[in-house]
Structure 1
Amino acid sequence: MFKRLMTAVLGTRHERERKRIQPIVDEINEHYARLQTVSEAELRGQTGKLRGIIRERTGELEAAIASLREQKRNAADPGERDRLDNELSGQDGRGGREGELREATAEVLDEILPEAFATVREAARRMLGTTVQVKGHDLTWD
């Protein structure tokens, strides 16, 4: 009885999950519709575009981390190395600049996910029916 009441009020787990991801699916479908009309070269260019977005959003952090790692590598004083290590990975080993980079990367990947998924979906659609050679054997993409 209680379970039925909760399901009636909150919906099933499947319904809640579908409701949560439906905006992402709608955005994927919008990108997919747009990508069906682009040329082969433009579709290939999507990869560079998406990589550029990631690089743009994480480039400063990656440069700062590389600089800190270089300073740590060249530091003669163990106390200085510990300080740089804490700045890189934080006191608990999960934070610091590297943690910021992980968070920034996750954020930008979530942001570009619909466009990236639509790009892969369109590329796979265009490959349907083509024959590719894998380890000397011809395989039809189906």
Structure 2
Amino acid sequence: MSRSTWPDQATNALIRLVWLETAKARARASQANGTKNTPLVAGADVGAGEAETVAYVCEYKRDERKIVRMGAWRGEDTRGDVVNFLNEFRARLSVVRVNAIGVGHTFGLHLRDYRFLVDMINVSMPCESKPNLQSQLSRIIRKSPPFII
């Protein structure tokens, strides 16, 4: 029997898997459940082919962020899965941020067809309103206390 070692994650991942697992463990320990009045923000990173599509729904308070729920799907077309996932939070959802690189652009348009307010972003490109999101996310997650999953 042969034992192989596999990488923990892709080398080009935006957010390190270990950061998410650590934050998720913290959330379970503190039982971070969303309050009924706090607005929610969702984010989606769309995968194609064998890549995974991931969506997060977060509570976004002034000085605190909490991931309320996360969903991940693999398949040729994950649009319906994500719409069903987001529909559960529709009443409190203020925006869905979609990584609009490649297939994400069409995915964002699909969410707009379902009447979600969509903010198309390109996380690999800095811009005036969202300068270098990748480095900002890295800093936020590393300094972690206010960022709870």
TM bucket normalised to smaller: under 0.3
Pair member with larger Rg: 1
More helix by share: 1
Structure whose residues are more often strand by fraction: 2
So what's the TM-score if we normalise by structure 2? Answer: 0.22
Q: TM-score, normalised by structure 1?
A: 0.23
